[in-house]
């Protein structure tokens, strides 16, 4: 879908969302309003669909941004590199998990707070949000939309029992977001795991059980409870 409300129409960056693959992944295209680059966040599962949309937009893909290293968020990288020359933006803390990737020479390693310039005033701010993985990042776009990858789902959050997961770190990451994000910020997750595909941060503070827990120990126990 395309965000085409009035605010988005005035913003320097349009977002498009595609749901792809067997795990209900959301893949986002970042389209600068003025001519500039074209970026894709977490390209996976259906490279032809991504190429077709880039062709419809009449722009070459120039940048890939990964919210984290898990395969279901990046298994389309190789396919896109067959067609385009791409910069791949990843948090530095994911480096150890990507040692075997064939495209490491194309990676731009980022730290929290880095800003990716996409031209025409369109920017993406990389927020380090470790917990689901050590180098998970959320991407703040146009100051009012945040792509949360597997850090935060609608009414859920990413698991922390996989290698590199750290529930205590995820608690701190979510607390930082709560402190710094305007409540009107639109949360755009990496999977369609909730009752709706997107919601405001304010709504998530009401309905997301992981944002109700204000004590580290309570959050960690709940996040690491046995899977039913
Ligand atoms: Fe993941």
* Pairwise CA distance, residues 56 & 117, whole Å: 23
Looking at residue 17, what is its pLDDT? 98
Distance (angstroms) between ligand 1 centre and the Cα of 113 equals 21
Residues by chain with Cβ below 5 Å of ion ligand 1: 70, 150
Q: Which of the residues in the chain have pLDDT under 50?
A: 1-8
Looking at residue 186, what is its pLDDT? 98
Whether 115 and 123 have beta carbons less than 8 Å apart is answered as yes
- Cβ-Cβ contacts under 8 Å for 121 (sequence gap 6 or more): 12, 32, 34
Distance (angstroms) between ligand 1 centre and the Cα of 193 equals 13
* Pairwise CA distance, residues 66 & 88, whole Å: 7
Distance (angstroms) between ligand 1 centre and the Cα of 67 equals 9
Distance (angstroms) between ligand 1 centre and the Cα of 38 equals 24
pTM of the predicted model as reported, rounded to 2 decimal places: 0.94
Looking at residue 10, what is its pLDDT? 66
Fold type of domain 6-223: Metallo-beta-lactamase; Chain A (3.60.15)
* Pairwise CA distance, residues 221 & 186, whole Å: 28
């Amino acid at each position: 879908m395309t965000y085409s409300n009035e605010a988005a129409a005035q913003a320097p960056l349009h977002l498009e969302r595609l749901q792809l693959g067997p795990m209900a992944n959301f893949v986002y295209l970042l389209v600068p309003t003025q001519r500039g680059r074209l970026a894709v966040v977490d390209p996976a599962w259906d490279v032809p669909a991504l190429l077709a949309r880039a062709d419809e937009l009449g722009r070459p893909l120039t940048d890939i941004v990964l919210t984290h290293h898990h395969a279901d968020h990046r298994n389309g990288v190789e396919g896109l590199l067959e067609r385009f020359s791409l910069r791949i933006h990843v948090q530095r803390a994911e480096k150890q998990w990507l040692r075997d990737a064939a495209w490491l020479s194309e990676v731009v390693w980022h730290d929290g707070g880095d800003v990716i310039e996409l031209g025409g005033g369109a920017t993406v701010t990389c927020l380090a949000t470790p917990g689901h993985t050590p180098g998970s990042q959320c991407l703040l776009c146009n100051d009012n939309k945040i792509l949360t990858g597997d850090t935060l789902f609608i009414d859920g959050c990413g698991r922390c029992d996989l290698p590199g997961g750290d529930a205590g770190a995820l608690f701190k990451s979510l607390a930082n977001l709560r402190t710094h994000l305007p409540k009107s910020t639109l949360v755009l997750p990496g999977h369609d795991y909730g009752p709706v595909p997107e919601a405001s941060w304010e709504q998530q503070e009401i309905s997301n059980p992981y944002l109700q827990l204000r004590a580290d120990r309570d959050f960690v126990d709940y996040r690491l409870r046995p899977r039913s």
